[in-house]
Amino acid sequence: MDRIFTRVGASDELARGQSTFMVEMTETANILNNATERSLVILDEVGRGTSTYDGLSLAWAITEHLANHIKCRTLFATHYHELTELGRLLVNVKNLNVAVREWEGQVIFLHKIVPGGTDKSYGIHVAKLAGIPKTILRRADEILKDLENTFAKEACGEKLARHKTAQDEDILFVEKHKSVLEKLRELDVNNLTPIEAINLLNEIKKEMQ
């Protein structure tokens, strides 16, 4: 390989007026502008320093650019589970995850890399290992469950709303164009001449306008 590029860690450049995210984007831009097909790129949690959707969008676009345009060997560590979809969409992207086992409410990190993506994070368990007080961990777990339930209900509500809207639109269409539908229902297609068909289409068009 010609060069190794890394974007790992987080640090504010307060003296220069740069936030962690600005530093991250500056370093990532340097990689994207200078890496070649023969480079090795290592990226860690790119996009985490801004809002979830902004960060996810940037991480997705950066991954696509590396895979489709630069085409260099890349290791991209992320907690954006949505990015694992790229493993299905792009032939040169493969998902790997760190093997974890759950046992009696405990999480055991196996320190082993295995094929495939994951849709679960263990932030609260890591916080426990780091020594965060138990009262905070319990409260965080309660908030997590509330958030998961809220998002699940919202997603379900949106799906039902879209279904209802589609049904309403179908009903409105039927009511609005009832006379046209009646004509089509009574039509004898087998005995219709080409001229009659053209005339009928013109009538239907005028009615629907």
- Higher pLDDT: 160 or 187? It is 187
Dist CA 138 CA 115 (whole Å): 32
User: Taking all residues of the chain, what is their mean pLDDT, rounded to a whole number?
Assistant: 81
pLDDT the model gives residue 113: 92
Give one DSSP letter per residue of 96-165, joined into a string. Answer: EEEEEEEETTEEEEEEEEEES------HHHHHHHHT--HHHHHHHHHHHHHHHHHHHHHHHHHHHHHHHH
User: What is the mean predicted confidence (pLDDT) over 69-85?
Assistant: 92
Q: Where are the domains of the chain?
A: 4-95, 181-209
Residue 128 banded pLDDT, cuts 50, 70, 90? confident
pLDDT tens digits, 98-109? 888 888 777 888
Q: Which of 12-16, 50-54, 105-109 comes out lowest in average pLDDT? A: 12-16
What secondary structure letter does DSSP report for 191?
A: G
Domain made up of 4-95: CATH architecture: 3-Layer(aba) Sandwich (3.40)
pLDDT the model gives residue 76: 94
- Which pTM does this prediction carry? 0.64
User: What is the mean predicted confidence (pLDDT) over 157-166?
Assistant: 58
SS3 78: coil
Residue 12 banded pLDDT, cuts 50, 70, 90? low
pLDDT the model gives residue 177: 65
pLDDT the model gives residue 114: 93
- Higher pLDDT: 158 or 23? It is 23
pLDDT tens digits, 170-184? 566 555 667 777 777
pLDDT tens digits, 18-41? 677 888 899 999 999 999 999 999
- Higher pLDDT: 157 or 196? It is 196
Residue 142 banded pLDDT, cuts 50, 70, 90? confident
Q: Residues, the chain, total?
A: 209
Task: Report whether pLDDT(134) > 80.
Answer: yes
